[in-house]
Structure 1
Amino acid sequence: MNAHRDVSALAWNAEVVKTRESRARAGLRVGTPEEDLPLPSDLIRIMPAKGAAMSADSPGSLAVIGGGIIGLSIARRAAQAGWSVRVHRSSEQGASWVAAGMLAPHSEGWPGEERLLRLGLDSLRLWQQGDFAHGLPAQVITARESLVVGVDSADVADLRTVADWLSAQGHPVIWQSAAREVEPLLAQGIRHGFRAPTELAVDNRAVLNALRTACEGLGVSWAPPVTDLSTVPCDAVVIANGVDAPALWPGLPIRPVKGEVLRLRWRTGAMPVPQRVIRARVHGRQVYVVPRGDGVVVGATQYEHGRDTAPAVSGVRDLLDDACTVLPGLGEYELAECSAGLRPTTPDNLPLVQRLDGRTLVAAGHGRSGFLLAPWTADQVVTELMAVGAHR
């Protein structure tokens, strides 16, 4: 996890230059496709693209391209704001269905990624205190804390670096030198790590199903995927179809990163399901174990392998070996599912949330953080739609 390059925002006009200093903290990209994509600012809405005038028009018709966590979150939020929404979605299950559902800005953090950390914390607050979770079943929350541990001395040193970096910024992480007192299910010999007591995990599939139901209750309609935006009859379009976004708007810097994920089912006589997310570094590799009502989700590998979504034996083997190194009792669980998804990843790991032209916005490239960043993304996109108005 290397520190990512700092990309300066391009000044389109005096207005953008004037406001940029006040926009230094958030995670929103602005600009036209021909410009280099800047790092986030703290403005609540996206500045309109060249030629897109601000408008007080009432909401119109909106097409959301993509039916994963980002597309559904935007569709629900837009429908609540009065838009007539149609979601173009595939019948195939994508990365959102495979995901583990961790809302973990602290334990995913790394020095040099301060902007991504701040963005994640802003969105976590929306999960905890905003209205995003309203209408979702209470049981979608499966854990309310993360414990991050290291297996060998190098793993522990890496975690100490992260914990010190977070603590220096005032974030609530707690270093542990007796981790098995916090989580007795850990293997003997695992002692060091840190707790992130404000992090959450959600049942990703329950969230997706609840969002679909909520959208239908708000009058959202469903339609097949599209391959050409010019064939989409609507006032505004949001491209939110993850790794497929560049096919609709060539040049978007999004690439697929494969991640294999396992689902293990509890069996009678096996160790109990952990009550918190367990994350670990195991001889340099990362593994996580996320509670579910009937077992755990184990993930995830991460490598670039084109658009291949077939789980590989080597990836499954590594995940099982590492998970059982940390929690030996998992060996008694049933291996219920092996799957792989394609994370839509950008060069600097920051999402693309921007206006592309007078009618079209993009909300994609969320990488490993789709569920975490969904509330923030939905708010940003709909605020932009309401502020600028649909280009007619």
Structure 2
Amino acid sequence: MAVQKHLAVVGAGIVGLGIAWEAARRGHRVTVIDPAPGSGATFAAAGMLAPVSELYYQEEQLLALTLESARRYPDFLQGLGSTGHQTAGTLVAAFDAADRLALEDLRQAQLAQGLRVEQLTSREARRLEPALSPALSGAFLAPDDHQIDPRALSAALLDALAGAGAGIVRRRAAALARSGTGEVTGVVLDDGTRIAADETVMANGLGTALLDGLPASLRLPLRPVYGDILRLRVPQALRPLVRLTVRGLVRGLPVYVVPREDGTVVIGATSREDGADAPSAGGVYQLLRDAQALVPAVAELQLEETTCRARPGTPDNAPLLGRVAESEGDVPGLLVATGFFRHGVLLAPAAARVCADLAEGLPVPAELLQFRPDRFSTSMEGSQR
């Protein structure tokens, strides 16, 4: 095993907790720093582990990373308690003829990438999920797409980290601590406390760019992308409403219905950049309208919760992941893992592997290193290292 190090992980969403968990499992000492663990984007996330159906967003540059991360999920969950992990697959449905054509284009793109999808007639789709609307125009099945409950996962990770002796510091990190030679030596908390560390991992989403002490040349162009999420309870007489995760296009707009083991479903898919950090009335209306178009019985569910959280987006919608370079090379002691946008839960195992391997000085496959956090910095423009 590598020499034991102390990792300070700033941010306790799924990504930060996942990095801490991987490091702890490898025998390293870990301190996680976050004033409210699991309360950010993780709290709102639907938890779809869906590299196949996520190809809808035409982010092919992420496919190798998302597939690798999905493949690593079973190992990532070893040693954890209940996480709500379900492997039933995802059914993707089209509402009208135009939606059916868009889904067929998606299916062809998936097949071209060698992904496993099964075309279904509307009748076959309703045989799998009887609650689906008879008006749907077509569907396909992505059997390898899974889902997990991010709230249960974050709780399980916190419990496992506590059991492994990790420290959980419920304070805000205010600045990086740096030596006279520029090496990052830990973090300074908002109360002035210093936490020394061999490696400091910045995994606190939008807050990463706001931390004092970052390298002067580093540009982290993060933007808040808000999403409205609904949680509804299914009456006993209607359970299970759906067994598979149901994703669909309704008049060109995406929507999903994700079943939970506790008898609730999660509905979402809105994406807006209007700066409003509260649920949007229009977004809630759109989600309920379009979810009912796919699954009419949604109208009979009990609305329990509306949530809105900001996800950290980047100009190319890909994460900022890895070490940071300055003019003389990588900044010692500093790792960045942010900008995961809608893929934070899915990419947690990949981010954990990259950060743990880099901390140990191990080689990392090129496909996992193509999203360096400094790729938008002036010194890195035009040259991807």
Q: TM-score, normalised by structure 2?
A: 0.82
TM-superposed deviation, 1:288: 0.3
User: Which residue matches 1:87?
Assistant: 32
Q: Return the structure number with greater strand share.
A: 2
Q: d(CA) in 2 for partners of 1:139 and 1:377?
A: 19
5+ residue gaps, structure 1, are 1-55
Q: CA deviation at 1:283?
A: 0.6
Q: What is the CA–CA distance in structure 2 between the aligned matches of 1:388 and 1:359, rounded to whole Å? A: 15
Give, in whole Å, the separation in 2 of the partners of 1:137 and 1:237. Answer: 27
The one of 307, 311, 333 equivalent to 2:279 is: 311
What's the counterpart of residue 32 of structure 1? none
Contact conserved, 1:142 with 1:291, CA < 8 A, in 2?
no
3-state DSSP of counterpart to 2:309: strand
Normalising by structure 1, we get a TM-score of 0.81
Deviations 1:181-229 (A, max 9, x none): 2321111111402110011011111111000000101111111111211
User: Does residue 206 of structure 2 align to residue 238 of structure 1?
Assistant: no
Q: Deviations over 1:63-114 (max 9, x none)?
A: 1000000000011111122222111112271000110000001111048532
Q: In 2, distance between residues paired with 1:154 and 1:218?
A: 52
- Contact 1:143-1:291 within 8 A present in 2 as well: no
2:348 paired residue number: 374
- Is the 2:100–2:137 contact (alpha carbons within 8 Å) kept by the matching residues of 1? no
Question: 8 Å contact 1:63–1:238 — kept in the other structure?
Answer: yes
Q: CA deviation at 1:62?
A: 1.4
Residues 273 and 295 in structure 1, CA contact (< 8 A), matched pair in contact too = no
User: Any conservation in 2 of the 1:143–1:275 contact (CA below 8 Å)?
Assistant: no
Question: Do the aligned partners of residues 58 and 364 (structure 1) sit closer, same or farther apart at CA in structure 2, a change above 3 Å counting?
Answer: same
- Answer whether contact 2:89 2:145 (CA < 8 A) is retained: yes
Q: Deviations over 1:2-37 (max 9, x none)?
A: xxxxxxxxxxxxxxxxxxxxxxxxxxxxxxxxxxxx
Structure 2 residue aligned with 1:116: 62
Structure 2: runs of 5+ lacking an equivalent: 178-187, 189-194, 325-330, 364-385
The one-letter amino acid paired with 2:359 is: L
Of stretches 76-85 and 132-141 in structure 1, the one that deviates more from structure 2 is 132-141
- Counterpart-to-counterpart distance in 2, 1:58 and 1:170: 40
**3-state SS in 2 of match to 1:155:** helix
**Which whole-Å CA distance do the structure 1 matches of 2:53 and 2:138 have between them?**
14
Aligned length: 331
Aligned to 1:78: 23
* Alpha-carbon distance in 2 for matches of 1:127, 1:271: 28
Q: Please, which of 103, 108, 120 is the counterpart of residue 159 of structure 1?
A: 103
Instruction: State the structure with bigger RCO (CA 8 A, min sep 6), 1 or 2.
Output: 1
Q: Do the aligned partners of residues 97 and 188 (structure 1) sit closer, same or farther apart at CA in structure 2, a change above 3 Å counting?
A: same
Structure 2 vs 1, CA of residues 89 and 255 (structure 1 numbering), >3 Å: closer, same or farther?
same
Matched, 1:220 2:172: no
Query: 1:357-368 maps to which residues of 2 (within 5 A)?
Result: 357-368=331-342
Does the 8 Å CA contact 1:288/1:323 hold for their aligned counterparts? yes
Aligned match of 1:327: 295
Equivalent residues of 1:70, 1:363 under 8 A apart: yes
Name the Cα RMSD after superposition.
1.9
Question: Where do residues 35-46 of structure 1 align in structure 2 (5 Å cutoff)?
Answer: none
